[in-house]
């Protein structure tokens, strides 16, 4: 599978071995509706020189939630208050996912997006 972002990271297997294609409904905070490709960029794509707490592979993934309530909780933070929540119906062809729970929530997933993923798809809807 080819990915939207460059995942060739020296000394790392990216995506990690546990990341698999899944059919899953997830939620994402975005700036635009309809969404643009920039709305699903990873933190690495958005901030190319920033140092992150997460490893480089996770920094190149798109953060999504399997639980809408966790996305709503994140939306309460000042940094995310103006963002919209979208529902994305991910199909197996859309990339690989790994549940990466942590301070953002138990349902947090890292999504390494397939190059062919279409942001104009009918699989993306405003959640609220």
Total domains present in the chain = 1
Strand order across the beta sheet in which 108-113 lies: 95-99, 108-113, 62-65, 24-30, 84-90, 124-126
Domain contains 1: no
- How far apart, in Å, are the Cα atoms of 110 and each of 20, 50, 78, 92, 128? 11, 19, 23, 14, 22
Convert the pLDDT of each residue in 55-79 to its tens digit: 999 999 999 999 999 999 999 999 9
Whether the pLDDT of residue 120 is over 90: the answer is: no
126 pLDDT band, cuts 50/70/90, is confident
Domain contains 12: no
Provide, rounded to the nearest whole percent, the portion of the chain with pLDDT above 70: 99
- The pLDDT assigned to 128 comes to 67
- The pLDDT assigned to 30 comes to 96
Q: What is the CATH number of the domain that holds 89?
A: 3.20.170
Residue with more model confidence, 113 or 120:
113
Domain contains 120: yes
Domain contains 36: yes
Give the number of other Cβ atoms within 10 Å of residue 69's Cβ. 11
Domain contains 65: yes
The domain containing residue 48 runs over which residues? 24-126
Convert the pLDDT of each residue in 9-42 to its tens digit: 999 999 999 999 999 999 999 998 889 999 999 9
């Amino acid at each position: 599978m080819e990915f939207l972002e460059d995942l060739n990271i020296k000394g790392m297997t990216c995506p990690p071995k546990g990341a698999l294609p899944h059919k899953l409904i997830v939620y994402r905070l975005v700036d635009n509706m309809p969404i643009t490709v920039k709305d699903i960029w990873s933190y690495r794509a958005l901030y190319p020189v920033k140092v992150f707490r997460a490893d480089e592979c996770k920094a190149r993934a798109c953060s999504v939630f399997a639980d809408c309530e966790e996305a709503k909780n994140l939306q309460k933070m000042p940094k995310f208050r103006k963002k919209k929540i979208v529902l994305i119906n991910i199909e197996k062809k859309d990339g690989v996912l790994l549940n990466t729970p942590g301070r953002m929530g138990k349902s947090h997933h890292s999504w390494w997006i397939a190059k062919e993923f279409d942001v104009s798809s009918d699989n993306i809807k405003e959640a609220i």
